[in-house]
A and B are shown apart, each in its own frame.
Chain A
Amino acid sequence: GNSVTQMEGPVTLSEEAFLTINCTYTATGYPSLFWYVQYPGEGLQLLLKATKADDKGSNKGFEATYRKETTSFHLEKGSVQVSDSAVYFCALSSRGGGNKLTFGTGTQLKVEL
């Protein structure tokens, strides 16, 4: 079956530091890949997505590239802000699987001044 593995958190960074959150997946076929973000006390929001190999999703300074050869979709940001503190979820949906998402366990990011 499908599965998503994320790095354990929490990740604590200073403001303006470089961020990488690792995500690898197992799936049959060619899934679509997503990063969702959950700010404290809120529901999840779609941050970015990629639907095929070598696609790069980007939004709000965050980027992730769909790497089929390494089955990875790592999230990166060049300079984090305190306002980026949240829990980040990597997820996939199988082609033809509708909107059913398989989520990773989430990685908490804390950004300090």
Chain B
Amino acid sequence: EAQVTQNPRYLITVTGKKLTVTCSQNMNHEYMSWYRQDPGLGLRQIYYSMNVEVTDKGDVPEGYKVSRKEKRNFPLILESPSPNQTSLYFCASSSDRNTGELFFGEGSRLTVL
């Protein structure tokens, strides 16, 4: 089954404790990205990757890092989480760089105390 898998689905953590949200897709997609969803703001792009070892900032990259060492994986790293990073995070992938047709994971709800 074609899917984008995120882990963990739910996490409560404390300010400053480094964490990683993993994302893996089994569709051999070149393009992957991370979004955060906040009430009243819709989804905003954090980072994206066109291919292995190619990453770039989206609209709200502050406080986040990513890496793309393998085609299937695109982890999101919060080096020192803060309460304003409490959000619902979605990973997405696409077979094409320009269609806007994204496959989304089920989301990871992160709470930073």
Contacts and interface: CB of A to CB of B under 8 A. Distances in A.
B41 A99 contact: no
A99 B106 contact: no
A72 interface: no
A103 B102 contact: no
Interface of A: 4, 32, 34, 41-46, 49, 89, 91, 93, 96, 98-101, 103-106
Interface of B: 4, 31, 33, 40-45, 48, 50, 58, 90, 92, 94, 96-102, 104-107
Given A49-B100, A91-B100, A99 B43 contact: no
A43 B107 contact: yes
Contacts of A105: 40-42
A41 B48 contact: no
Given A43-B104, A43-B107, 15 more contacts: A32-B100, A44-B90, A45-B104, A49-B100, A93-B98, A93-B100, A96-B98, A99-B31, A99-B98, A99-B99, A99-B100, A100-B45, A100-B48, A101-B43, A101-B45
A101 B99 CA distance: 10
Contact of A43 (B40, B41, B48, B106): B106
Interface centre among B43, B44, B45, B48 (most CB of A within 10 A): B43
B90 A103 contact: no
Contacts of A101: 43, 45, 100, 102
Given A43-B90, A98-B98, A103 B42 contact: yes
A93 B43 CA distance: 13
A88 to B, nearest CB: 11
Contact of B97 (A44, A98, A103): A98
A104 B43 CA distance: 8
B39 to A, nearest CB: 8
B43 A103 contact: yes
Contacts of A4: 42
